[in-house]
Structure 1
Amino acid sequence: MYKILTLNKISSIGTDCLCPDKYTIVNEEASPDGILLRSASMHEMELPESLKAVARAGAGVNNIPLDKCADQGIVVFNTPGANANAVKELVLCSIFLASRKIVQGINWTQSLNGQEGVAKLVEKGKGDFVGPEIKGKKLGVIGLGAIGTLVANDAVHLGMEVYAYNRTLNANVGLKLNPQIHLTDIETIVKTCDYISLHIALTPETKHMFNADTFNKVKKGVRILNFSRNELVDNEALKKALEDNTVSSYVIDFPTEDVLGVDNIITIPHLGASTPESEDNCAYMAATQIAEYLEKGNIVNSVNYPDCSMAYTGNKRICVLGKGLSVDSITSFVKETGNTISAMVNASKGEYSYTIIDVSENEVKDMSGLKNIAGVTGYRVI
């Protein structure tokens, strides 16, 4: 029986797919086999020795100590694309919010409560909230993951001229894009686009990529949408760019105290994936991935170990996680202990590796010596 600890409320669509004959779902557990979570932070958590896998019902994993997990042989999963449609819809909504001063107009209208002649006041004051249409305007999409690709494609159908950048381009990315989209570089997007939507990961290289120097290069009056991470934008430089109308408006789904109450900054309380459909999709994907790993040893959508899978035949299976580990050292040990290898697959991700070995015997000889091999971070026999 596998014990699964939930650190957040997880949609029953996910937990219900875990067979009750094989899994126990708990809110408190000292020795869980797996953890399901959404936004709860694990950075201060002491990781139990029993823990084999963590599955994040969402894409971002900055709330999970990835390196610490990897070094302890704990595989971390996320659910890329499961919330993509929800975020895309809010991004498209925000293009209109950034253009038409809708939020500002609504707030102003509410301030008229209690006054007489509201209809006349509205007609007199509506001119303060004029904003441009988006049809024919240029949208730059930086990052063509699941969300960025959907935003770019749908913006074409809204009549926008779309420019897009991705750090790496391959046939898989290209096939998903509308052929009308212009693939280009960040510099071109910054200099020419009326709207820029950010869909890239926060890394040391991308932190404050929109800074004072960037704002000196942008098209005058640009509108920026940030549905990735707050730290991609230098907020102090942004506020100066807003003051001199270099930037017309900024929409952020990860607000911090330094952007609250600033004119022409629209702060959304991290609602990108807050739909019942998204929560169901993420929960189901996270639960099925953790089950596939615990029951069959297959890794799909891991962020700290390589994806690595092999068809499960029901034979005994040895799964070995490693860091700087030689595959030969694993196979030699398995053979020396008297096991016959019938099938094997290995994959690497940076310095971390994963090996799946199926053996012919009904019983696997003692594998406890694996832990003494240099580089082995964890192993299991299924």
Structure 2
Amino acid sequence: MFQYACLNNIARVGLDEFTSCYQQTEELSEAQGILVRSAKMHDMELSDGLLAIARAGAGVNNIPFDRCAEKGIVVFNTPGANANGVKELVIAGMLLASREIVDGVDWVRGSRTDPDIAKNAEEEKKKFAGTEIAGKKLGIIGLGAIGVRVANAAKHLDMEVYGYDPYVSVEAAWHLSRDIRHVIDVNEIYAKCDIITVHVPLLDATKGMIGAEAISRMKDGVILINMARDLLVDEEAVIRAVDEGKIRRYVSDFPNPTVAGHPGCITTPHLGASTEESEDNCAVMAVHELMDYLENGNITNSVNYPACSMGVCEKPGRVAIFHRNIANMISRFTHVFGESGMNIAEMTNKSKGEVAYTMIDLDEKASEELIGTLRRIDGVFRVRVVR
């Protein structure tokens, strides 16, 4: 019986995927798995029995995934599960900013008691005429699950689409329309595009990537959209550019004192992945990832360990080893098994940066003595007996 805990409300459709082998607990110290959305975990004490954390969403800034790696705790996320919801909000943001819809709605709301509102609207609407998005150049920075969907949708709206992503995955490339112009220099997007939307993860390398220098290279009157992470953009620089007319509209899904209510800024209350469908999709994916790992040791969509799968275990024993990605680790593992007279039926090893993950199927169950020997090997974080 596995026990799991929820740090946030997780969609029931996801929790219903758990089989009778799983039981929810309120005691975090008893949980082998944790499901989380936005709860802050950096200051939490992680129990020795915790095996995995599944984030029902893409961003994992609220989870100490590096510390988890050193404890052999796998951290999952759910890339792509909320992609359609964010894509739709990006399209909505383009239309709101281009057509001056928000200002028009505000005018109507402010004139609601005017008996001549219909007559006056004919005169006032000139202020909110805006422009169409068809024929405009859209620049997409980041061609992951969301960026690809935005690109393909924009193409169907008769936009000219430029995409930039030096690390685009093979899977993303397969789903990307052949009509998208894949550029190798982000400055081409800054120089040519009328609308720019950012879809990259928040890393040390991407923090503040849209700053004063990048803005200076953009076209005058550009519309900038940020539905990814607020810290990707230097919003003080954006505000200056908005006030100067360099940026026509800044659309963000991250309200804060800098942008909220500022003229020229359209800010939504973090709605991107908040649709009922997105929350359901994220919950289902997170639960499936957690179950496959707890039952079989397989890793899919982890942010701190490599993808690794050996399917459903059909052998009497399966052992998973979390360790540093350094030379001679595999030979040391196999030596331990050889000295114990145990036959390795199948083995796989994958690495990710400084960490690695090894799964070994055995023709018999591993003894406690053997597991203890593996745990004492220098560079091993954790040894888990899957079965």
| Counterpart for residue 320 of structure 2 | 319
**Secondary structure in 2 aligned to 1:257?**
coil
Q: Matched residues in 1 for 2:173 and 2:16: separation? A: 36
| Counterpart for residue 73 of structure 1 | 72
Distance apart, 1:362 and its partner CA: 4.7
Matched to 1:71, the amino acid is E
Q: Matched residues in 2 for 1:231 and 1:374: separation? A: 38
| Counterpart for residue 7 of structure 2 | 7
Question: Following superposition of structure 1 onto structure 2, how do residues 267-282 of structure 1 map, counting pairs within 5 Å?
Answer: 267-282=267-282
Question: Following superposition of structure 1 onto structure 2, how do residues 325-364 of structure 1 map, counting pairs within 5 Å?
Answer: 325=326, 326-362=329-365, 364=367
Distance apart, 1:167 and its partner CA: 1.9
User: Is residue 119 of structure 2 the alignment partner of residue 115 of structure 1?
Assistant: no
**Secondary structure in 2 aligned to 1:55?**
strand
**Secondary structure in 1 aligned to 2:30?**
coil
- Once the two structures are aligned, what percentage of the paired residues are identical? 47
Q: Matched residues in 2 for 1:306 and 1:69: separation? A: 14
| Counterpart for residue 234 of structure 2 | 234
Matched to 1:352, the amino acid is V
| Counterpart for residue 86 of structure 1 | 85
Q: Matched residues in 2 for 1:201 and 1:256: separation? A: 20
Question: Following superposition of structure 1 onto structure 2, how do residues 236-255 of structure 1 map, counting pairs within 5 Å?
Answer: 236-255=236-255
Q: Matched residues in 1 for 2:91 and 2:26: separation? A: 37
What's the CA shift string for 1:347-370, capped at 9, x where partnerless? 000110000000011564531222
Distance apart, 1:335 and its partner CA: 2.3
**Secondary structure in 1 aligned to 2:223?**
strand
Distance apart, 1:171 and its partner CA: 4.3
What's the CA shift string for 1:245-265, capped at 9, x where partnerless? 110001101222111121111
In the alignment of these two chains, the number of paired residues is 381
User: Is residue 296 of structure 2 the alignment partner of residue 296 of structure 1?
Assistant: yes
Distance apart, 1:115 and its partner CA: 2.8
| Counterpart for residue 380 of structure 1 | 384
Report if aligned partners of 2:140, 2:163 keep a CA contact under 8 Å in 1. yes
Distance apart, 1:39 and its partner CA: 1.0
Q: Matched residues in 2 for 1:152 and 1:239: separation? A: 27
**TM-score, normalised with respect to structure 2:** 0.95
**Secondary structure in 2 aligned to 1:201?**
coil
Q: Matched residues in 2 for 1:236 and 1:29: separation? A: 40
| Counterpart for residue 51 of structure 1 | 50
Q: Matched residues in 1 for 2:127 and 2:11: separation? A: 44
| Counterpart for residue 205 of structure 2 | 205
Q: Matched residues in 2 for 1:108 and 1:27: separation? A: 50
Q: Matched residues in 1 for 2:167 and 2:146: separation? A: 16
Distance apart, 1:169 and its partner CA: 4.0
Per the alignment, do residues 170 and 58 of structure 1 end up closer, same or farther by CA in structure 2, a change over 3 Å counting?
A: closer
Report if aligned partners of 2:325, 2:351 keep a CA contact under 8 Å in 1. no
Report if aligned partners of 1:31, 1:49 keep a CA contact under 8 Å in 2. no
| Counterpart for residue 127 of structure 1 | 126
What's the CA shift string for 1:303-326, capped at 9, x where partnerless? 001111113243210110112351
Report if aligned partners of 1:58, 1:78 keep a CA contact under 8 Å in 2. yes
What's the CA shift string for 1:128-179, capped at 9, x where partnerless? 2121001100000010000000000110010000000012245433322111
| Counterpart for residue 16 of structure 2 | 16
Distance apart, 1:288 and its partner CA: 0.7
Matched to 2:384, the amino acid is R
Q: Matched residues in 2 for 1:170 and 1:356: separation? A: 25
Q: Matched residues in 2 for 1:27 and 1:251: separation? A: 39
Q: Matched residues in 2 for 1:333 and 1:294: separation? A: 25
Q: Matched residues in 1 for 2:213 and 2:145: separation? A: 29
Q: Matched residues in 1 for 2:14 and 2:296: separation? A: 18
Matched to 2:347, the amino acid is M
**Secondary structure in 2 aligned to 1:295?**
helix
Report if aligned partners of 2:322, 2:356 keep a CA contact under 8 Å in 1. yes
User: For structure 1, which runs of at least 5 residues remain unmatched after alignment?
Assistant: none
Report if aligned partners of 2:208, 2:231 keep a CA contact under 8 Å in 1. yes
| Counterpart for residue 190 of structure 1 | 190
- Deviating more after overlay: 312-321 vs 221-230: 312-321
Q: Matched residues in 2 for 1:322 and 1:362: separation? A: 21
Distance apart, 1:26 and its partner CA: 2.5
What is the root-mean-square deviation in Å for CA atoms of aligned residues? 1.4
